[in-house]
Amino acid sequence: MDNLLKIQNCNKHFEGNKALDDFSCEINRNEIVGLIGPNGAGKSTLFNVITGFILIDSGKINFDKNNITNKGPSKINKYGISRTFQDLRLIRQMTVLDNILLSFKKQPGEHLENVFFQNKKVKNIEFENKKKALELLKYACISEKAYELANDLSYGQQKLLSIICCLASDAQLLLLDEPIAGINPAMIEKILSIITELPKQGRSVILIEHNMDAVSQVCNRVIFMDAGKKISEGTSEEVRNDPRVIEAYLD
């Protein structure tokens, strides 16, 4: 099987606290992996490590044949990894449409010289991107919100928007940090159906989620971690019945 992401023996210490303890795992192409574990298990730290926001002490991370260990966040995004944040980050003072436009890759208008000398090219690409962005909004059924500030969306719509931004960046691997926590059931359905579609578009997903029903519904595979270690790995059934997992939760 072809590995998309390969994490080898990663270690990260925070002042004596082991956030990642010799952590290794592999993510295949077109697969949805659930990452579960108690609070403080190191799940979000792992996301921050993969996306370059936190540097690791030792270990190696390979993505699609590229070594991305300790590269900068913007560079890692360019390789094709996109993420959402647990504390839900968006540019709240910009419109929904602008948030998506910001997320597209390789925009000529982001280079200063093109702003002045390639106006036509910039405008054409901007027009194309706008069309794509509106299509994505239509796909997510929030077309009518395109010109509202991201801040004026409901919490669930904001979470949806953050996933759409990942889609706009055309990532091969999406890291979704609690995409359905704290939102209403109808929105949960919508977001889960979008996530389920991702492998068909050639994308893989790592999903941090506490809602076990949702995890078993969408994930092909589940990794359980605690205290920075991988405790168990398998189908959600297997992991749920693993005595080490039960023990970790009872601790």
Partner 1 sequence: MIYLFHIFILIGIYIILSLSLNLIAGYTGILSIAHAAFYGIGAYIAALMALNFNSPFLLNLVLAMIGSAILGALIGIPSLRIKDDYFIIATFAFQIITFSILNNLVSFTGGPMGLPGIPQPVIFGIKISSHLSFLILIVILCIIVYFVCNRIVKSPFGRILKAIREDEVFTQSVGKNVSAYKVKIFMISSGLAAIAGVMYATYITYIDPTSFTVMESIFIISIVIIGGAGNLKGSIVGAIVLVMLPEILRFVGLPNSVAANIRQMLYGSLLVVFMMWRPYGFIGEYSFNRNTDNG
Cα separation, 234 vs 237, in Å, equals 8
91: contact with partner 1 by CB under 8 A = yes
In the complex with partner 1, which residue's Cβ is closer, 158 or 236? 158
28: contact with partner 1 by CB under 8 A = no
The closest of 56, 40, 140, 48 to 100, measured between CA atoms, is 140
DSSP 206: E
CA distances from 191 to 114, 184, 233 (A): 37, 11, 24
186: contact with partner 1 by CB under 8 A = no
Tell me whether residue 150 is exposed, middle or buried, using C-beta atoms within 10 angstroms of its C-beta: 0 to 12, 13 to 18, 19 or more: buried
Could you tell me the smallest distance in angstroms from the CB atom of residue 180 to partner 1? Answer: 20
Question: 3-state secondary structure string, 43-83?
Answer: HHHHHHHHCCCCCCCEEEEEECCEECCCCCHHHHHHHCEEE
Which of 27, 122, 133, 208 is the binder for partner 1 (CB under 8 A)?
122
157: contact with partner 1 by CB under 8 A = no
Which of 3, 58, 67, 110 is the binder for partner 1 (CB under 8 A)?
110
Of 102-110, 137-145, 209-217, 236-244, the segment contacting partner 1 by CB under 8 A is 102-110
CB 137 within 8 A of CB 143: yes
Which of 65, 116, 185, 202 is the binder for partner 1 (CB under 8 A)?
116
CB 47 within 8 A of CB 98: no
Q: Which letter, b or e, does each residue of 191-223 get, where b requires 16 or more Cβ atoms within 10 Å of its Cβ?
A: bbebbeebbeeebbbbbbbebeebbeebbebbb
- Binding positions for partner 1, 36-55, rule CB under 8 A: 51, 53
165: contact with partner 1 by CB under 8 A = yes
- Binding positions for partner 1, 63-82, rule CB under 8 A: 72-75, 77-78, 82
Of 106-114, 133-141, 152-160, 236-244, the segment contacting partner 1 by CB under 8 A is 106-114
Which of 8, 107, 196, 216 is the binder for partner 1 (CB under 8 A)?
107
Residue 175 has which token pair?
Answer: 């890291």
Half-sphere exposure of 218 (CA within 13 A, CB side): 31
Of 36-44, 95-103, 138-146, 152-160, the segment contacting partner 1 by CB under 8 A is 95-103
Element (H, E) at 204: strand 204-208
Which of 126, 148, 233, 242 is the binder for partner 1 (CB under 8 A)?
126
In the complex with partner 1, which residue's Cβ is closer, 149 or 187? 149
What residue ranges bind partner 1 (CB under 8 A)? 51, 53, 72-75, 77-78, 82-83, 85, 87, 89-94, 98, 101-103, 105, 107, 109-112, 115-116, 122, 126, 165, 169
